Chain A
Amino acid sequence: SQKIEQNSEALNIQEGKTATLTCNYTNYSPAYLQWYRQDPGRGPVFLLLIRENEKEKRKERLKVTFDTTLKQSLFHITASQPADSATYLCALEDSWGKFQFGAGTQVVVTP
């Protein structure tokens, strides 16, 4: 069965450092991979989308990589700030538009 794995343990990181999150998947051929941010009690907010033929995408302090051979995406937050504290979800979409989300990884940035 299709499976998306994100680290269930919270990532605690000091302000200014780079946070790196992983999203691994099995039995899936995604056409697109998306990352969302979710704050407590709120709906997810879209951050970045990367296509299967793209290796890397950047947006301000965010960087996403996508390795279809390893079946893995890495999500980096550089120069992290306390305001970056949230849960980050990866979502895979296949060529037919079928969506599936990972459970998310909580990031805690301490001053």
Chain B
Amino acid sequence: ETGVTQTPRHLVMGMTNKKSLKCEQHLGHNAMYWYKQSAKKPLELMFVYNFKEQTENNSVPSRFSPECPNSSHLFLHLHTLQPEDSALYLCASSHTTGGGVDDEQFFGPGTRLTVL
């Protein structure tokens, strides 16, 4: 496989469930990102990892918990979500972070999450 893959593509969960989103990149990049995209709103950056270390957390509620075991894999663990958390969750990767022409981001297809 090439590029950035995400699983599952669709997820429906109740507010008491615990689930995880998975992202894998096959591009040899060192930086990975989680974004939330709600209808008619800009992409909201949630978390940034660079060389497996979290470098950015944009005041994301603790019910979202990221995990980056290595530079190729990124998880988003979900628990006790709210209906307003329903959105498209996008994973992206780039060569690195810190400013530069290599910071073009490659996105996965996203996970469409619905919280009932």
Contacts and interface: CB of A to CB of B under 8 A. Distances in A.
Q: Do A and B come from one complex?
A: yes
Interface of A: 4, 8, 31-32, 34, 41-46, 49, 51, 89, 91, 93-104
B42 A101 contact: yes
B1 to A, nearest CB: 15
Given A8-B40, A43-B90, A97 B45 contact: no
Most B CB contacts (10 A, CB to CB) among A96, A97, A101 go to A97
A21 to B, nearest CB: 15
Chain B interface bracket (under 10, 10 to 19, 20 to 34, 35 or more): 20 to 34
B61 interface: no
Contacts of A91: 105
Contacts of A103: 40-42
A99 B103 CA distance: 10
Which 4 interchain pairs have the tightest Cβ spacing? A43-B107, A101-B43, A97-B98, A97-B97
B42 A97 contact: no
Interface of B: 4, 33, 40-43, 45, 56, 90, 92, 97-101, 103-110, 112
B45 A99 contact: yes
Contacts of B4: 43
A32 B92 contact: no
A46 B105 CA distance: 7
11 contacts: A34-B104, A41-B112, A42-B109, A42-B110, A49-B101, A89-B43, A97-B98, A99-B45, A100-B45, A101-B42, A103-B40
